[in-house]
Amino acid sequence: MRRSYSFASSWEVAAPVDAVATALTDLEHYPQWWPQVRAVAKLGPDTAWVRCRSALPYTLDLVLDAVTRLPPVVEVRISGDLEGYARFALAATTGGTRLDFQQEVVVSGVLGALSGIARPVMTWNHDRMMAGCREGLARHVLAG
């Protein structure tokens, strides 16, 4: 069973676009600032294996392939437990950088089957993951 998910959110970070883009394209260091990213291993110049675990007791194994690393758009293709993409559009603002996040993924297997009844909980879990991104990224780029 395959289920689709679409996520979108926007927020601002008080740092320049280049600093935000640098943090977002440095996948190997995600675990230092994004608590739900538990492990990253570089598989090639534009590819990384990533393990994520948010509030619910399951871990996603993902492979991320860079589509673009240059602002104004940072995008990865996602494969593994999820299939699809994640994209950050970055725009300079008077206060720093606005991030417009968009993710389109398909989940299959056991998670796909559970999505039929647990979709609100899985969406909440994703929201917790992205809260970790927002908070951790802000701390990371401001400290940098």
Is the model's pLDDT at 115 over the cut of 90? no
Structure-model confidence comparison of residues 144 and 68, the more confident one:
68
CA angle 89, 36, 8 (to 5 degrees): 30
- How far is the C-alpha of 50 from the C-alpha of 77, rounded, in Å? 12
What residue type is assigned to position 117 of the chain? I
CA–CA dist 38, 40 (Å, integer): 7
Structure confidence by residue, pLDDT tens digits, 6-52: 999 999 999 999 999 999 999 999 999 999 999 999 999 999 999 99
